A and B are shown apart, each in its own frame.
Chain A
Amino acid sequence: MRTLLKLAWRNLWRNARRTLITMASIFLAILLALIMRSWQLGSYRKMVRDVVRSYSGYVQIHRRGYWDNKTLEYSFIMADSLSLLLQQRAGVAGVIPRLESFALASGAEQTKGIMVVGIDPAAEHKLTALAGRITKGRYLSPDEPEVLVAERLAEFLRVTVDDTLVLLSQGYHGISAAGKYSICGLAHFASPQLNNQLVYIPLPVCQLFFSAENRLTSLAIDLEDPQKTAEVTAALRQRLPEADYEVMPWDDMQVELVQQIESDNAGGLIMLGILYVIVTFGIFGTLTMMIHERRREFGVMLAVGLRKSRLLTMLTIETAIMSALAIVLGSLASMPIIWHYTIHPPRFSGELAKAIENFGMEPVLPFLFESSVFIHQAWTVLILTALAAAWPLASVLKLRVVKALHG
């Protein structure tokens, strides 16, 4: 075996140019596969991040039964013990309390059904960057009786900053809820639905309005590592009594997003598949040519007494070494490229960019820099190379020594 190894190594570097050409096709395969997959996965992560950060957070805690029955009757008391539990849990980047319900809002003449969301302005901003969406006026302060109104809603009600907004609803236990608030700012929201419906109000003011002192409808959780969603959900479910609380990860709450990603991923895999076919062919071509070119050399070796099986083994080792080297080099080469695009993602331009921005998303193409991507693609290309090499290597077995010697 050791002889074969040494032979293989020397063969490779005897004709460096040929070796490098062969390695180049494998090198390219892994480079392109990594770039493509990194871009695809980056997009999905971004989609999740965009949706999750626009409102729901990665995990939410509610009173049991709230999700199916979103009324104030299913609110829960914000206990200190709960808050402490959450702060202590590793990986929790933020805890965002909310009290939300339906209400009628009116300006001077018009009235409309809307969503009132009581928030902790600082915590909310850390999750959703709400303060950044302000188009006029200023952000909420923690307990002033003022409101932040969605743009289109303000337009419909014909109100603007410093006007008074009247809210009417039914609070906890059906107690009438009525209040007048000054509008401190207007904000723009991605989805037209939200832009037509949202009114943000400081949490204590909201709780007073709904006669729901110290109560919340949901606690949203921001995570340091979004990949740990399932873990954190499981851990919280263990710690919180099941009868009282429900803990929901974002994929339970945003079923449509999950489906969107699944379908995008399907399309992405098809594209990746096509790329694989093309590069495999490239590798196949190069290997075939290489074997063909060396047939005289093989003929000599066989004539001198090398067994075909050992020749095959030696060639397989050569191919293996080339693949391994090429894959490692390719991966290394791709790293600066992917890293660069992860930090400075390519931007869309023109109309498409504007349309995307209107939806509240950044018009960029995000990349993902993560070890799992590298490992997956490395394995895949290795397998592809093996597949591509199968026929050319097998053809060695069919060599007829005399013919080979004749070149």
Chain B
Amino acid sequence: MIAAIAWRNVWRNRLRSGIVIAAIAIGLFGGIFSIAFMEGIAQQTVNASIALQVSHIQLHHPLFLDDEELKYRISGADSILAQLARNPDVVTATRRYRVRAMASTAGGGTGVEIIGIEPEVEKKVTNVWQKITTGDYFSTGRRNPIVVGERLAGKLKVKVGQKIVLTAQADDGTLTGGAFRITAIFRSDNSLFDETRIFADYRDLSRLLVLPENESHEIALLLRQPQKITSAAGLLASQYPDLKIETWREIAPDLGMLQGLMQQMMFMFLVIILIALAFGIINTMLMAIVERTRELGLLMALGMSKIRLFVMIMLETIFLSLTGGSIGMAVSAAVIHYYSRRGIDLSIVGEGLAAIGYAAHVYPGVAAPFFVILTLLVVLTAILSAIYPARKALKLRPAEAIRIE
């Protein structure tokens, strides 16, 4: 019964209700959207790094990561790869040799890391091949083909088609060198990566440095379900107790830190938004109560108990909040859904973003539970905000109230 009255009250004064509903909806939208936005940015950075270099999980000889010496290899890499191919959690796995070497050309010399890859399989795990600006990715036909970063090519003053002499220490300690031809030049967003990495076919590298073809320094893989990364890693660790298994968080801790930082910022931001919202609602409701002094006074004079009055006002607030909440949720969902497909072009805001690895396009996204929690929080805030004004209403004295002009 009170509910019905409350409901009618809400719609009786469309202006006032409209404002409160709009305030709640906007607050909710603002909160959800900014979180989705920040999440998008953090996610992009992480994904970009995973796709370029880190992958989800990497396997190494336990001593390789400290010393990076040629001899710390994964033996039986072939069979491990075959097993991983059958592993239902794994999308693709690839093997790599990693060797520190000297790259020299007539124009200069510099230290590099040669990554000996299986070109076609590597394409399925990392996306360097998509960042090629000139030339062809490992086109067959050239002997000892290599793919180098733009910055490195510039430093050594070479172009596609020209050679780089790579000198490294072979397994027996002797210095060996070989001439490799550049078949393609790539440009990633990571300048350090561009300047120090050379990709070669692992078979060519094995031949040069007398490394067994069935071994490797590193195996990297992508998971079908990246969220289940910890359990997948644990499973692999028990399957291959002699190897060191690491997730991308362990390999690139600064990425994980970025996400954490974003979340903390979000939390603080949310607190501020909720405070702003609460005040907005308290104010508007207070004003409304002040305006309805006569009406409320009349109700009290007619016999409505204080409790029922309180409940009525609270119900009005609840209805307002729910309406505002639903609208806010709907609008947020629609906008986020739209932009999560198209992406927001951030290049207007500054080209600085690309340099640090933030993608120029951000795809906002919010996990479903987050969405719901946020909505509940906003609605709760709205309801709590109504308590003070409602109590104020109770303090009205009916006789005085009626007399107000």
Q: Mark A196-222, 1 if CB is under 8 A from B, else 0.
A: 000000000000000000000000000
Bound form: Cα–Cα A34–B15 in Å: 31
| Cβ-defined contact, A355 with B257, below 8 A | yes
Contact A279 B283 (CB under 8 A): no
The answer on a CB contact under 8 Å between B27 and A359 is no
Interface residues of A in 266-304 (CB under 8 A from B): 266-267, 270-271, 274-275, 277-279, 281-282, 284-286, 288-290, 292-293, 296
B356, A289: Cβ atoms closer than 8 Å: no
In the bound complex, residues from chain A placing their C-beta under 8 Å from that of B38 are 267
Interface centre among A17, A22, A285 (most CB of B within 10 A): A285
Do B273 and A290 touch (CB < 8 A)?
no
Please tell me if the beta carbons of B287 and A278 are within 8 angstroms of each other in the complex.
Answer: no
Query: Which residue of chain A has the shortest Cβ distance to B192 in the bound complex?
Result: A193
Contact indicator A259/B257 (Cβ below 8 Å): no
Q: A352 is contacted by which of B19, B257, B349 (Cβ under 8 Å)?
A: B257
Give the complex CA separation of A292 and B256 in angstroms. Answer: 52
Known: A274-B30, A277-B30. A293 touches B290 (CB 8 A): yes
Mark B253-287 against chain A: 1 for CB-CB distance below 8 A, else 0.
11011001100100011001101110110011011
Task: Decide: A259 near B353, CB < 8 A? Known: A18-B290, A286-B283, A289-B291.
Answer: yes
Least CB separation from A269: chain B residue:
B349
Query: Is A275 a contact partner of B272 (Cβ separation < 8 A)?
Result: yes
| A256 in contact with B290 (CB, 8 Å) | no
- The answer to whether B280 touches A263, judged by C-beta atoms less than 8 angstroms apart, is no
Q: How far is the CA of A29 from the CA of B346 in the complex (A)?
A: 28
Given the interface contacts A17-B290, A355-B256, does A278 sit within 8 Å of B280 by beta carbon? yes
A351: Cβ under 8 A from any B Cβ = yes
CB pair A365–B268 under 8 Å, yes or no, is yes
Find chain A residues with CB under 8 A from B264 CB.
348, 352
From the candidates A24, A260, A292, A351, name the one contacting B356 in the complex (CB within 8 A).
A260
* Contact present for A271 and B269 (CB under 8 Å): yes
Q: How far is the CA of A375 from the CA of B31 in the complex (A)?
A: 27
Q: Is B353's CB under 8 angstroms from A278's CB?
A: no
Q: Is B26 an interface residue (CB 8 A)?
A: yes
Contacts of A351-376 to chain B: CB distance below 8 A:
351-352, 355-356, 358-359, 365
Q: Is the CB of B284 within 8 A of A289?
A: yes
A266 x B19 contact (CB < 8 A): no
Chain B interface helix/strand/loop/mixed: helix
Q: Is the CB of A279 within 8 A of B257?
A: no
The answer to whether B356 and A355 touch across the interface, beta carbons within 8 angstroms, is no
> B residues within 8 A CB of A24?
279, 283
Most buried by A among B37, B66, B273: B273
Judged by a CB distance under 8 angstroms, whether B206 is at the interface is: no
B 320-374 contacts with A by CB, 8 A: 346, 349-350, 352-353, 355-356, 358
Chain A residues near B31 (CB, 8 Å)? 274
| Chain A 250-267 interface 0/1 with B at a Cβ cutoff of 8 Å (1 = within) | 000001101110110011
A36 touches B272 (CB 8 A): yes
Given contacts A259-B355, A355-B260, contact A285 B277 (CB under 8 A): no
Q: A156-B67, A263-B352 are in contact. Are A270 and B37 (CB under 8 A)?
A: yes
CB distance A259 to B276 under 8 Å?
no
Query: Are B257's CB and A359's CB within 8 A?
Result: yes
B405 CB within 8 Å of chain A: yes
User: Contacting B279 at CB < 8 Å: which of A18, A25, A267?
Assistant: A25
Q: Which residues of B47-98 have CB atoms within 8 Å of chain A's CB atoms?
A: 66-67
- Complex contact A263–B358 (CB within 8 A): yes
Evaluate contact between A356 and B257: CB separation under 8 angstroms.
yes
B23 on interface, CB distance cutoff 8 Å: yes
Contacts of B277 in A (CB 8 A): 278, 282
A266 touches B349 (CB 8 A): yes
Query: For chain B residues 5-58, which have a beta carbon within 8 Å of chain A?
Result: 15-16, 19-20, 22-23, 26-27, 30-31, 33-34, 37-38, 41
Interface centre among A278, A284, A351, A358 (most CB of B within 10 A): A278
Q: Contact between B290 and A277 (Cβ–Cβ < 8 Å)?
A: no
CB distance from B251 to the nearest CB of A (A): 12
Asked if B161 lies at the interface with its beta carbon under 8 angstroms from chain A, I say no
Size of the chain A interface, CB-CB below 8 angstroms: 51
CB distance from A152 to the nearest CB of B (A): 9
Chain B contact-residue range equals: 35 or more
Q: Does A72 contact B (CB under 8 A)?
A: no
- Are A274 and B273 also in contact (CB < 8 A) when A267-B38, A293-B290 are? yes
Q: Is the CB of B23 within 8 A of A256?
A: no
User: How near does chain B come to A358, taking the closest CB pair, in angstroms?
Assistant: 7
Which partner residue on chain A sits nearest B13 by CB separation? A292
Q: Which residues from chain B contact A22 at a C-beta distance below 8 Å?
A: 283
**In the complex, what distance in Å separates the CA atom of A359 from the CA atom of B26?**
38
Task: Give the chain B neighbours of A352 by CB distance below 8 A.
Answer: 257, 260-261, 264
Complexed CA–CA distance, A258 and B379 (Å): 40
Would B41 and A278 count as touching, CB distance under 8 A? no
Docked CA distance A307–B287 (Å): 27
From A297, which residue of chain B is reached at the shortest CB distance? B405
Q: How far is B18's CA from A289's CA once the two chains are assembled, in angstroms?
A: 11
- Decide if B349 touches A282 in the complex (CB within 8 Å): no
1/0 per residue, CB under 8 A from B, across A153-181: the answer is: 00110000000000000000000000000
Q: Name the interface residues of A318-367: CB closer than 8 Å to any CB of B.
A: 348, 351-352, 355-356, 358-359, 365
B111 located at the interface, meaning its Cβ lies under 8 Å from any Cβ of chain A in the complex: yes
Q: Residues of B contacting A113 with CB < 8 Å?
A: 111
B26 touches A277 (CB 8 A): yes
What is the CA–CA distance of A262 and B348 in the complex, to the nearest angstrom?
A: 12
Q: Would A285 and B353 count as touching, CB distance under 8 A?
A: no
Complex formed: what's the CA distance from A407 to B31 in Å? 38
Task: Assess the B275–A32 pair: CB atoms within 8 A.
Answer: yes
Pairwise interchain contact A355-B253, C-beta atoms closer than 8 A: yes
Q: Which chain A residues border B33 with CB–CB below 8 Å?
A: 274
Asked whether A285 lies within 8 Å of B19 as measured between CB atoms, the reply is: yes
Contact A289 B16 (CB under 8 A): yes
Bound Cα distance from A271 to B41, whole angstroms: 14
Other-chain contact of B280, A255, A285, A296, A351 (Cβ < 8 Å): A285
Closest 3 interchain pairs by CB?
A282-B280, A259-B352, A289-B287
The contact sample of 26 A-B pairs, CB cut-off 8 A, is A24-B279, A25-B279, A32-B275, A113-B111, A260-B352, A266-B346, A266-B349, A266-B350, A271-B34, A271-B269, A275-B272, A278-B276, A279-B280, A281-B22, A282-B23, A282-B276, A282-B280, A284-B19, A288-B15, A289-B19, A296-B405, A351-B260, A352-B264, A355-B253, A355-B256, A356-B261
Q: A36-B269, A263-B356 are in contact. List 9 more A-B contacts (CB 8 A).
A: A18-B290, A21-B283, A36-B272, A256-B355, A262-B353, A281-B23, A285-B19, A288-B19, A293-B290
B positions within 8 Å CB-CB of A: 15-16, 19-20, 22-23, 26-27, 30-31, 33-34, 37-38, 41, 66-67, 111, 253-254, 256-257, 260-261, 264, 268-269, 272-273, 275-277, 279-280, 283-284, 286-288, 290-291, 346, 349-350, 352-353, 355-356, 358, 405
